[in-house]
Structure formats: C-alpha cells, structure tokens
Amino acid sequence: MADTASDWIERSRSGDAAATVALDEALYAQLKGIAEGHVGRNPAHSLSATALVHEAVLRLLGSGRTPESRAHLLALGALKMQAVLVDHARRRQADKRGGGLAAITLGAADDVSVGDAQAFLDLQVAIEALEREDERAARAVVHSYFGGMSAEESALALQVSVATVERDLAFGRAFLRRRLGA
Amino acid sequence: MAGRLRQLFDAAAALPAAQRGAFLDASCPDAGERAELDAMLQLGEEPDDALRGRVGRLAQDAVARAGALPERVGPYRVLGQIGEGGMGAVLAAERDDGAFRSRVAVKLIRGLAHASARARLERERRLLATLEHPHIARLLDGGTTAGGEPYLVMEYIDGQMLDQWCAARRPGLRARLALFETLCRAVHYAHQRLVLHCDLKPGNVMVRADGRPVLLDFGVARLLAPEGDATRHSLAVTPAYASPEQWRAGPLTVATDVHGLGLVLYELLAGAVPERDVAAGPSDLPAPSRVLARRGGARAEVAALRGDLDAIAGRATAWDPAQRYASALELAADVAAHLASRPVTAARARWYTLLGKFVRRHRVPVAVAGASALALMVLVSWLAYERARALRAESIARAEVASLVASSRYLERLMSESPDAANLRMGEIIAAVRADLEHRRDVYDPALRARLTFRLGVILAASHRHAEALVVLREARQGLVATGGAPLLVANVDAALARSLNALGDGAGAERAARAALARFSSASAFAEVGTAHLELATALTRRGAAAEAEQEFSRALDAVGAAPIYRAEQTADVYMRRAELAQAAGDRLGALRFSEQAWSVLRAALGEDHPRTLTAQARCRALAAGIGAAVAAP
C-alpha cells in the first residue's frame, strides 16, 4: 500500500488530477474507517479533526517518506476533512428541520447542538470569502485548521517560504475574525 | 497576485504598532477601508482558538455519528446501504407515495460544495435521464436532500455483479461472449446519443436473474466532472480501471469507453483484470490467455483464448487510443465475427495502424529487394531492417514523450517554449529534453528528475545513441535508487542499460545489468522490458561462450515477449534476428540462416506476406542462403 501511495503522491504533486482523485478516495476511506472504528469504543474521548487527518496520512503513507510528499498528503487530507465536515454540518442542519439523519443516541455526542453546525457553516462561508480575496491564504488556513499542519508543512505543500505562510495565516486569521466578529 | 487589502495588511503588519496609524492615514483615503484594516490588524494579533473550536466541535460530532444512515432522502425511504461508491454511499430505497411502491438505488454525492457545480449536475442529469435502453440502468430522478447534499436516483437492478454471476453460473465461453457483445451494443447506443460512460469496469456491470446484463452509472463520472473540464481527465473514476489517457490527462473519447469494455472482456475471459503499471511507461496488458494461465485456468480454456480473443482484448485496451477499435460497435462486430468463425480485424489492424502511416510516407527501399546483385541485396536488407527499427524507435519516442505528461505535463511546457513545436523531430525532442533537464536541475524534485532522465535514456537508446544513453541511464538509475524509486522502474532502467552495454560491446557489464533487472522483476511482470533483459543476458552469455545457459535465456526471452499482446511478433522476430547476428558473428552461417528463417516465418504469419519487415527478413534469408550456396559450391 505504502509504495502505491507514494507513487500516487508523486504524480499528484506534479499536477496529475487522476492521481489526486485516487488519493482523495484513499484518504476518505481512511478517515471514515478511523472515525467508524472510534465509534462505540470510547465515544466520550474526543478525536480531533487534525488528529484524524494525521492518523489517516500515517496509515496511507507509513513512515520514512520525504517531507514534501507527507506535506502534500496532509494538505489533501485537510481539504478532504473540510469537505467532509461541510457535508456533515449541512446534514446536521437538516436534522433540525426534521428531515435528515436518523436520531441516534451516543452519549457525549448529544451535547453537540445544531447551533454548532450553523457556527461551522458560517466559518465555511467566511473561508470561501477569504478564498476569493486571497486564495493561498485560505489554503494556509485550511491546512492549519483542518489538517493541524505546521507552517513548515504548509510551506512545503504550497511551495512557498515559511515566512510567507506565516503572513498568509496572519492575514487569513484577521480576515476570518473580522468577518465573523469572533 | 495579492489583492489591495492583503498588500496593505502585510505592509502595515510589518511595521511597529506605533507607526501603523500614520501608514494607514497615508495609504487609505477611504475611511471605511482604513477602519477595516485597523480592525483586522488588531484581530490578527489575538489567538484564534474560537475559530478552531468550531472545527473541533463539529469534527467530534461527525466522528460520533460516523456510519449513520439517513432515514429518508427526498421523497425516498431508505431501506439500507448497498455499497460505498467512489462518490458516496449507495442506498437501497423505495418511493412510498401511496399509489405504488417501487424500489430504487439512491446515490448520495458528497464533496460537491459549490452551488454552480450542483446546478450543473442538475442540468446534465436531465440529459442523462433521456437514455433509455434495456441494458442501461435508468437514471430516474435526482435532487438535493434537506441538508443540501445532491443525490441521484437510479433504477434498482435485481441481479448479481458480473464477477459473482460468472462464478455462480459458470457460463460457457460463447454465452460470455454473447453477453459482452450485448454490452458493446448498449455502449454504442449511448455513444450515438453523445453520452460517454467514462468509468466502464466489471464492477459497473450487473446481470439480472434472467441473464440480461445491465450497465450501471452511465455518464455519472462525467456528470461529476468539474465545470469546463467534462471532456478531460479529472473525473470521478476508479484509478485501477482508468485508461492510459485518463492517467495522462488526455482528452476522453469513445476510445476511453472501448478501453473500459476491453477490461470487462478481460473479466469475462480470464476472470480478472490485470493492472497496468502506468508509471513504468507505455505498456500493454498481458494477453487474457496469459492471465488465465497464470490463474491456473484449464489448458483447453487457455487455448481457446489464444489468437482472436487475445487480439481483440489487446486492441480494445491498446495504450494508444488511436490503435483501439474506433467504436464500441466495431468491437461488437469483431466479437460477433469470432463467434461466427469469421476472421477478426484485430490481428490485421494491429500492425497496420502501427506502421501503415510511416510506410506511406517513406517508401521503404524494400522495393529494391529484387535487385540482382547479392551484395546490394544484403546491404539493402539491413538498411530496411534498420529503417523498420528506426520507425519503431520513433513511435517509442513519441510514446515516451507522451508518457512524460503523466508525471509532469512536461511536454505541454516544452511545447509552449518552442515556437515550432508540432514539427519537432526526434533529435530535437532529445535536445529539448536534455536542455530542460540541465536548466532546471534545481527545480525538479529529484524523483521526478530521475524518471525524466530515464525517459531520455530510453529515447537515446531507441535512436541507437548508446554511448550517450549509457551515461544518461546511469544517472537516472542513481537518482531513482537515491529517491527510493519503485523496484520495477529500476529494473526497467537496468534492462535498458543491458541493451546499450551489449550494443557497445561490454558483455560483462550487460550481464550484470540484465541479471540485476531480472532479480527485480516479479514473475507477474509482463512487459517488453522483461523480454529485453532476458535477450540481453542471452546475448552476453553467448558472447562469453556459455552456450547452454544462453539457450535457456533465449527461450525465456521468447516466453516473455510472447506475453505482450502488441509488438509480440516484432519482438519475437527481434530475438531471432539477434540470434542470427550472433551466429553470423561466430561464423555459423547455417545457424544464421536458420534463425533468419524463423524471424521471417514469425513476421509472415503476424504481419503478412508483403509487410516491409517480412520482406526484409525474406531478403536476408535469400542473401544468406545464396552465400552458403556459394561457399558450398566453392572448390
């Protein structure tokens, strides 16, 4: 598996869309598998979005790959996590309107209100606005928020300097908070 | 290019806090903009835990609810999950609106965040819904869930997946071929309505209880392509079944679906679909008979696939889309011809399309072969042989360059940089690739650079520039090993090295390289390079007098080239021709004649009586026979 994955990563890094699709699929399968494995084992113990992405990347990649390919895969993982959570938030909102997911009782999960889904979707709208203002800054924010990527990892994935990523993040944060009043 | 807001923000943020006010006063005549920046600069300093918290809480909720199915999707009541497809879950559901109940399959589409993409999905869905054919699962409906998630509703097919059906029913070869022909005609029906499937594979074929096959997901991959990219590569396809042009971002056409049908044919004939190692460069899939034999198929079943059916599957799945059947209907017709024991077009078309164009352009001097002078005949025959090789080299060069695109969109860039790109000759392509690799030494990722260098080496060797090829291939090998390249790729480099070393007379080096290559190839590797490695090893062994071992390697080389569906005859002839050269070099003119005759007979059977390569081999046999006759006649 690791060999195939690193081959896909190399192709994906050089702009091969088919390879990116393949990685996207593989990442999704991993994310889903890890999340489902977590359910029922210890629902009270929290598993953060960024930990999920890192775990998925680790399972796909194994260790000992180049920092560049790891960063690339983390970046794809962050994007995937964002897409998954947007879908999830929309479904949760539908819950509120009574037409969506079957109600399931899962202890601590009940504490999460549909208000959280709305807050998340507001954040998503702000990130989309940031994307229109400054696309790379939006990517850096997604890397950090959804993938837990360090500035160094983000810099490798975006092929810019660490200082640039830090400026991107400063601007991105300020933009989002200004928009959301948070 | 950063926007104005970003530029001002960066400039101000770089200043000490005390100077920012004055900077903003000077730069922002608009009070609103100034206030905006002022607020942002202050917010930018503070931690953003609150924002991260929004992501965290939702993720927790998502994890807690992972795997839960919705109760309803639009007006459909969900009964259970059928599968997890490339784009999302597939659910069994039923419409329950009082009057009647009908079961459907609902496909949830995830990750389609933008409203424009959703609107387009809706438009195209209506087009696809017009596809009405008994062997195509109908797209019935579609919509958006309350949660904003798009979904497609398809006809629910009560039956088995193709592979399960084959395993359970064990249909005879004729029944399987008849089913395949039906599928080809269904695909052709859709093509006539300008709908491509783009993700044809055994997993998208079901067979109803009464034996009628049905194609699933017609046009769905294309439906989900990003806006403006519907004819290109970035479709939601299954990587293991993607056609070469899907991998290298080429335009998708009817030929893409013909390739997919070819894969379905593999499943029907051999019970498995071999995976193409796209990274290793242009390659053909091993013939179905070979796949079946490897899976332990009965001898009679394997034998039934050899010939026509191997050729049909080979042509349907050819690397180059232009060499495949021009339509699904042509593929159907060839299968029908085989069923009716009429000759199929695949065998003839294989070489014809490959070489026809070149032969028309350059009248190969084989026409001169009737010349009486024996010396002239020998000269001409070798000349023609070299030409034929050169033209293959040219087609290899084109394919190699095309495959570079797979890793880098490389050619596009080279093209954009050279004014008269379309007319680049091989020598110029080589020069351009070389210059590029040199100039961008520090830009390329080392692994990519190594791979590009390998391609350059292959092109050089194909052009008989072996000394240069050697230097380049060695550099490529070093780079591949240093970057942890795939063993198969390193093996391919070693095989190429062995060839160039032999050509330069370094038998010991060639032997080492060939053995290194063979050590890395697995028993499942069935592409040209395995044959090359065996042939080069045999050559080196012959030259150092290890005749028995060489004999073994020659026969392994023949086995290996026999596994490739295309170029099989040509490569087999190459092996015999090499043996003829070696025999002649050793003064064994009778042996040289015998091997040349074998090459001739292989070429005659595969390419036809009057193909340039056949005529060349024939001329060579005559020349050798005449030489022997002369020697015998001499006192």
| Residues of B with Cβ-Cβ distance to A6 under 8 angstroms | 484
pLDDT in tens, B574-593: 899 999 989 988 888 888 98
From B9's Cα to the closest Cα of chain A, the distance in A is 7
From chain B, the residues in CB contact with A97 under 8 A are: 146
Q: Do B40 and A174 touch (CB under 8 A)?
A: yes
A14 and B36: CB-CB below 8 Å?
A: no
Whether the Cβ atoms of residue B526 and residue B563 lie closer than 8 Å to each other: yes
Q: Which residues contact B139 (CB under 8 A, 6 or more apart)?
A: B125, B128, B129, B131, B152, B153, B154, B155, B218, B219, B220
Q: What percent of chain B has pLDDT over 70?
A: 70
Chain A environment of B222 (Cβ under 8 Å)? none
Residues of chain B neighbouring A89 (CB-CB closer than 8 A):
58
Hey, which residues 117-136 in chain A have their CB within 8 Å of chain B?
117, 119-120, 123, 133-134
Let me know how long chain B is: 635
- The token pair that represents B235 in the structure block: 């479709």
> Under an 8 A CB cutoff, do B55 and A85 touch?
yes
The top-scoring range by mean pLDDT among A151-155, B354-358, B483-487 is: A151-155
pLDDT number for residue B516:
92
Of A43, A85, A95, which has the smallest distance from its Cβ to B58's Cβ?
A85
- Condensed to tens digits (0 to 9), the pLDDT of residues A103-112 reads 333 333 444 5
CA nearest to B311, candidates B299, B323, B327: B323
Mean of per-residue pLDDT scores for chain B: 76
Among the ranges given (A157-166, B58-67, B417-426, B527-536), the one the predictor scored with the smallest mean pLDDT: B417-426
Range from A127-136, B3-12, B395-404, B622-631 that averages highest in pLDDT: A127-136
Nearest by CB: A167 against B10, B52, B68: B10
Rounded average pLDDT over B552-558: 92
Give me the interface pTM, i.e. the ipTM: 0.83
* Closest by Cβ to A94, choosing from B54, B67, B147: B147
Contacts of the segment B439-445: beta carbons below 8 A, 24+ positions apart:
B445/A10, B445/A13, B445/A14, B445/A68
3-state secondary structure of A157: helix
Cα(B68)–Cα(A11) distance, rounded to whole angstroms?
34
Between A180 and B178, where is the model more confident? B178
What whole-number distance in Å separates Cα of residue B102 and Cα of residue B401? 53
Concatenated DSSP letters for B14-62?
TS-HHHHHHHHHHH--SHHHHHHHHHHHHHHHS--HHHHHHHHHHHHHH
C-alpha B238/C-alpha B221 separation (Å) is 9
Strands (E) located in B126-264: 139-144, 150-155, 159-161, 205-208, 213-215
Tokens for B120, please give them: 């387009």
- Per-residue pLDDT at B258 exceeds 90: yes
The DSSP secondary structure of A7-47, one letter per residue, reads: HHHHHHHTT-HHHHHHHHHHHHHHHHHHHHHHTTT-TTS--
Band the pLDDT of B370: cuts 50, 70, 90: very low
Distance between CA atoms of A169 and A157, rounded to whole angstroms?
A: 14
Give the tokens for residue A9. 């990563």
Closest A-chain CA to B485:
A7
pLDDT-based confidence at B413, cuts 50/70/90?
very low
Q: How many CB atoms lie within 10 A of CB B346?
A: 27
What pLDDT shows up at residue B309?
92
Q: How far is A85 from chain B (nearest CA, A)?
A: 7
B4 reaches A (C-beta below 8 A): no
The position carrying tokens 């009647």 is B100
User: What whole-number distance in Å separates Cα of residue B68 and Cα of residue B16?
Assistant: 52
In whole angstroms, give the CA distance from residue B257 to residue B327. 9
Give the model's pLDDT for residue B374: 31
Q: Answer yes or no: pTM beyond 0.95.
A: no
How crowded is the C-beta side of B481, counted as CA atoms within 13 Å?
Answer: 10
Tokens 């629910």 -> residue: B156
Chain B interface, best mutation among A12, A32, A38, A90, by max B CB count within 10 A: A90
Tell me whether A96 touches chain B (CB under 8 Å): no
Closest residue of B to A114, CA-based?
B58
Q: How are strands ordered across the β-sheet holding B159-161? A: B159-161, B205-208, B213-215
Angstrom distance (rounded) from CA B389 to CA B614: 13
Q: Please indicate if any CB of chain A lies within 8 Å of the CB of B49.
A: no
Closest residue in A to B50 (Cα–Cα): A182
Q: Is the pLDDT of residue B380 over 90?
A: no
Q: If pLDDT is split at 50, 70 and 90, which confidence band does B362 have? A: very low
**Closest residue to B58, CB basis, from A117, A133, A134:** A117
Put simply, the answer to whether A104 touches B234 (Cβ < 8 Å) is no
A170 → closest Cβ in B44, B246, B408: B44
Residue B249 at interface with chain A, using a CB cutoff of 8 Å: yes
Give the percent of chain B with pLDDT over 90: 21
Residues 6+ apart with CB under 8 A from B598: B576
Closest CA to B178 of B346, B344, B340: B340
H helix runs in chain A, sequence order? 2-13, 17-38, 49-61, 67-96, 114-133, 135-147, 151-158, 162-180
- The count of other CB atoms within 10 Å of the CB of residue B544 is 12
What value does the mean pLDDT take over residues B200-221? Answer: 87
What is the model's pLDDT at position A54? Answer: 81
The CA distances from residue B172 to B202, B261, B301, in Å, are 18, 19, 10
Q: Considering CB atoms only, which of B50, B60, B111 is closest to A87?
A: B111
What are the tokens at A88?
Answer: 């999830």
Q: What is the pLDDT of residue B182?
A: 95
Give the residue-averaged pLDDT of A33-62. Answer: 69
Helix (H) or strand (E) holding B604: helix B589-607
> So what's the pLDDT on residue B27?
87
The dihedral sign for the CA sequence B7, B11, B17, B22:
negative
Nearest residue to B458 (alpha-carbon basis) of B487, B436, B435, B426 = B426
pLDDT band at B239 (very low <50, low <70, confident <90, very high): low
Cα–Cα distance for residue pair B596/B580, rounded to 1 Å:
6
Query: For B277-329, what is each residue's pLDDT tens digit?
Result: 666 667 788 999 999 999 998 898 999 998 889 999 999 999 888 888 888 99
| Residues near B434 by beta carbon (within 8 Å), at least 6 away in sequence | B456
Please state which of the ranges A143-157, B67-81, B254-268, B284-298 shows the lowest mean pLDDT: B67-81
Report angle CA B1, B5, B9 to the nearest 5 degrees.
100
